[in-house]
Amino acid sequence: MNRYYLAAIGIISVIYIIHDVRKKRFSIKESFWWFIAALLILFLSIFPYSINWLAEKFGVAYPPSLFFVFCIVFLVLMNFRNSKRISENQIKIAEMAQQISLLKSKDSKK
C-alpha cells in the first residue's frame, strides 16, 4: 500500500476519533487507545522503515509480520478490556435490579 494512503487513513482516523469525542458519542477514556493506534499508523506512514528497525531488534525475519502481531495483540487487549467492562456492567445491572425490586416491595407494603 502506498504510504500516502496509510497517512490518509491515519489522519482520517485521528479526525474521526476527535469528532466523535467532541460530539459525545465516544468518551475520552475509551478513545485514548484508538487515538494512540491512529497516531501509530500515521507515524508508520511517515517513517515506513521504522518497522524494519523494530523487526531487526526483535529478531523477526519478515517485518510486516511484526506489524500484524502488534495489531493482533492490540485488538486482543482491547477485546479483553471490553469483556471485563461488560462483566462489571452485568454485575452492576443485577445489583440495580435487586435494589429496584426491594424498593418496589417496600412501596407495595405501604
Q: Kindly list the domain boundaries of the chain, sorted by start residue.
A: 3-109
Question: What is the Rg, in whole angstroms, of the alpha carbon atoms belonging to the chain?
Answer: 22
pLDDT at 25: 87
Q: How many CB atoms lie within 10 A of CB 95?
A: 10
Q: pTM, whole model, 2 decimals?
A: 0.74
Full pLDDT tens readout for the chain, 110 residues:
577 888 898 899 999 999 999 998 888 888 898 889 899 988 988 898 899 999 999 999 999 899 899 999 999 999 999 999 999 999 999 999 999 999 998 888 76
**56-78 burial code (b ≥16 CB/10 A, e <16):** eeeebeebeebbeeeeeeeeeee
pLDDT for residue 5? 87
Residues 97, 33: Cα–Cα separation, whole Å: 32
